[in-house]
Amino acid sequence: MNKKKIIYILSSLAILATGCSKKFLEDLKSYNQFDETIFTNEAQSQLYINGTYYNYYNTYKLPTATLVGVYDDSKTKMTEEMGGTVADRINPTKTLDGTNTTDYDGYFGVVTASVTNNPYTRIRNCNFFLEKVDELGKNLSASFKAAARGQMYFFRALQYYDLVRTYGGVPIVLQAGQLGDPSIQVPRSTSTEVFAQIIKDLDSAVALLPTRGMPNAWVDGSDYGKLTGGAALAMKSRVLLTAASPLFNADWDNTGNARWQAALAAGLKAETDLTTQGYGLYGTSAKDWSEMTFKNDNAFNKEAIMVQLTSSASAAAGSQINNAWESAVRLRDVAGSGDGVSAPKEMLDLFPMADGTRPTTENGYVDTFFFANRDPRFYRTFAFSGAKWPYKANQNKVVWIYRWKKDANQTTGIYYANIAANSPAVVRKFSNPAADSTIFAYSGTDIFEYRYAELLLNIAECYAATGDIASAVTYLGKIRQRVGLPAANNYGIGNLTTKYQALEAVLYERRVELAYEGKRFWDVQRWMLYDNTPNSTSSKLGTTPLNGSSRNGYYWQSQVLNNTDPLTAVDRASISIDPDQWGTAAFTTQTDKLKTLYRSKFTRAPLDKPWDAVNSAQSSILFRPNYYLSGINSSVISTNTWITQTTQWKDASGIMGTFVPNN
């Protein structure tokens, strides 16, 4: 689907509501049947399919957002990637168990008769189409029906995947009846059964959907963005990897475990088939890596397995989906919407050194000069004082983030260069250097929901879990080679001797490669990495648990107490750290100049108040064990007595549930 087609899809929804039939909306409201005339011809059937895409993806406007149909960044804000929002689920002063109706994750929605766009509404819409298309679609071509059914199976699989990783086992409804209908009374299935159904649906999607390079392929221009058979194969890898992970797999530590073997087989099958179809890692440099989402915009990109296309049209032009990221990350002095996205120190200290080794004192890392000698992806993920960050009207724009104040105890009248950031660096990943500052809010940059790099990391993780350390390292090397890290010492990974070291190395690489892409929370969740108990997976893998940690920042502050900007025009003009020059002597010269400037004019000052604060006091993350899989809304339990509440969560009567969600 190209950008024009997205606008067409949204406007066509109005046609569906006004031009198809009045009875259609009446039937929607009664929520027990649909107007079956949608199967009269392919145009009306396509409107229904378009509406399904819209219901799933219309809120997908940020790369940090997750959960189909909702797509917000609340999950990302529960990790080290973003500080400042102490959500209830990481707030140590709160215990959520269903005592209050707001304790539950609200994603499940309602199951009463409604047209509200929630998970089981979306599932019901898929079920209705799958039930009726063969019976009533006599005038539809075989190829159209096959592709339509394939998309519906894929949609249903996506929805059940987000349900199972939020709640564990949920009711599996495969008919068009409403979940809350007393005549159906579908109980919760085990998570194992839900995963099996997801894979069955994805297998159906693989068999029915167009495949790139085959006679039935989607047209790269007009159909780009639609779900494909190759994407369904890749989703099998993601789903089976989740099913094999510790949260859902008590036998995860067994290298011969069948779930790891199945996930590995699915990943390798997807890699083989997608490579044949022309997919792969985009480019051969960090510059290519940074440009992948906006180069060849609105056309096939070998890295993009699943992509959200967005429109560059303004709101006045009609209904469309804009990418909100460009405006969010850009700074005020170039017409950004705010202070950008400040990068916690934990993220600045995360990325490898320029040789691929970890940023430790032994490897030469000095956190004061976090900008020096780092992995090339660092300079494409973050912007900081002295860093070049272009936009359309100024291709030589250099960022400056610091502050000065008149006296040490001053709390007002503090001066900031550009923004009042909580960090000396902000996120710049996925911003377009050609973006027009007059229309940042109408960015049409595509969002890559599933990249080929993630597929390779899935395979690496499975190899590590099954004890094939060498193959895991080989796949990690592919990720690092693409961005230009030197090959020595396994691209800086070193010699790994245990599967635990290999697993930790994969999870580390995911944190770097997939930073700010909405993936980190789900990795933490499926590996249960919030915990810090002696037998936790964190202790086995040797990772630092998130519980007990916080997101921290600091200021670059003038050494001199004065109400005058410490930097002169000459200072500013003397430094431009260009990521395109990474690895050259010129790049090193520029970072050395920034070091010298910092030593002469700045100091590291603590924040005026804690970044992660509860009641104005410093807060540390506490994610309790029952949060990994949420209980189901008590309102759902009370009106659907056949749905059992999750263990460690209370039902509508205040009684602890008995349903084990991850069996």
Q: CA–CA separation, 341 vs 553, rounded Å?
A: 12
Neighbours of 221 (CB within 10 A): 12
At 280-296, the pLDDT tens digits run 999 999 999 999 999 87
Q: CA–CA separation, 297 vs 444, rounded Å?
A: 9
The pLDDT confidence band at residue 218, using thresholds 50, 70 and 90, is: confident
Q: CA–CA separation, 49 vs 133, rounded Å?
A: 12
For residue 613, pLDDT beyond 90? yes
The radius of gyration of the chain from alpha carbons, rounded to an integer in Å, stands at 26
* pLDDT number for residue 314: 78
Compute the CA torsion angle 54, 56, 60, 66 (nearest 10 deg): 180
What residues make up the domain containing 441?
325-445+554-606
Q: CA–CA separation, 19 vs 54, rounded Å?
A: 18
For residues 156 and 127, is the Cβ–Cβ distance under 8 A? yes
* pLDDT number for residue 349: 98
Range of weakest confidence among 239-243, 311-315, 592-596: 311-315
For residue 449, pLDDT beyond 70? yes
Find tokens 């997608």 and name the residue: 274
* pLDDT number for residue 12: 39
* pLDDT number for residue 639: 86
* pLDDT number for residue 7: 36
For 398-418, what is the mean pLDDT? 84
* pLDDT number for residue 116: 83
For residue 26, pLDDT beyond 50? no
Specify the pTM.
Answer: 0.94
Nearest to 487 by CA among 474, 477, 499, 476: 477
β-bridge partners, 308: 447
Residue 631 lies in a domain: no
In the numeric block, which tokens belong to residue 520?
């980190």
Q: CA–CA separation, 569 vs 426, rounded Å?
A: 23
Number of domains in the chain: 1
Residue 372 lies in a domain: yes
For residues 380 and 579, is the Cβ–Cβ distance under 8 A? yes
* pLDDT number for residue 619: 96
For 24-32, what is the mean pLDDT? 38
Q: CA–CA separation, 242 vs 105, rounded Å?
A: 19
For 5-24, what is the mean pLDDT? 38
* pLDDT number for residue 129: 96
For residue 374, pLDDT beyond 50? yes
Nearest to 379 by CA among 80, 77, 604, 583: 583
For residues 428 and 577, is the Cβ–Cβ distance under 8 A? no
The pLDDT confidence band at residue 29, using thresholds 50, 70 and 90, is: very low
Q: What is the enclosing helix (H) or strand (E) of 114?
A: none
What DSSP line would sit under 421-474, residue for residue? -SSSEEE-TT--TT--GGGGGGB---EEEEEHHHHHHHHHHHHHHTT-HHHHHH
In the numeric block, which tokens belong to residue 377?
């992806």
Q: Which residues of 295-334 are buried (b: 16+ CB within 10 A; e: fewer)?
A: eebbeebbbbbbbbbbbbbeeeeebbbbbbbbbbbbbeeb
Residue 125 lies in a domain: no
Residue 104 lies in a domain: no
Q: In the predicted model, what is the mean pLDDT of the chain? A: 91
* pLDDT number for residue 177: 76
Amino acid residing at 559: Q
At 111-139, the pLDDT tens digits run 655 568 999 999 999 999 999 999 999 99
For 578-607, what is the mean pLDDT? 97
* pLDDT number for residue 2: 45
Residue 532 lies in a domain: no
* pLDDT number for residue 36: 83
Nearest to 272 by CA among 456, 450, 449, 448: 456
Residues 545, 504, 450, 297: is their CA dihedral positive or negative?
positive
At 57-112, the pLDDT tens digits run 999 999 999 999 999 999 999 999 999 999 999 999 999 999 998 999 999 987 65
Q: CA–CA separation, 162 vs 309, rounded Å?
A: 21
pLDDT: is 415 or 261 the higher one? 261
Residue 600 lies in a domain: yes
For residue 409, pLDDT beyond 90? no
In the numeric block, which tokens belong to residue 385?
């004082």
Q: CA–CA separation, 350 vs 168, rounded Å?
A: 31
- Measured in degrees and rounded to the nearest 5, phi and psi for residue 147 equal -65, -40
The pLDDT confidence band at residue 318, using thresholds 50, 70 and 90, is: low
| DSSP character at residue 125 | H
Q: CA–CA separation, 457 vs 656, rounded Å?
A: 38
The pLDDT confidence band at residue 14, using thresholds 50, 70 and 90, is: very low
| Angle in degrees, CA 98, 100, 105, rounded to 5 | 60
At 469-485, the pLDDT tens digits run 999 999 999 999 999 99
Query: How large a percentage of the chain has pLDDT more than 90?
Result: 80
For residue 16, pLDDT beyond 80? no
Residue 458 lies in a domain: no
* pLDDT number for residue 6: 42
Distance in Å from the first CA to the final CA of the chain? 39
* pLDDT number for residue 330: 95
Range of weakest confidence among 3-7, 166-170, 455-459, 578-582: 3-7
β-strand pairing of 447-451 with 425-427 = unpaired
What DSSP line would sit under 48-87, residue for residue? HHHHHHHHHHTT---TT-BSTTT-BSTTGGGSTTS-S---
How many residues appear in the chain?
A: 663
For residue 316, pLDDT beyond 90? no
Q: How many Cα atoms within 13 Å fall on the side-chain side of residue 638? A: 12
Q: What SS3 state is found at 115?
A: coil
Residue 93 lies in a domain: no
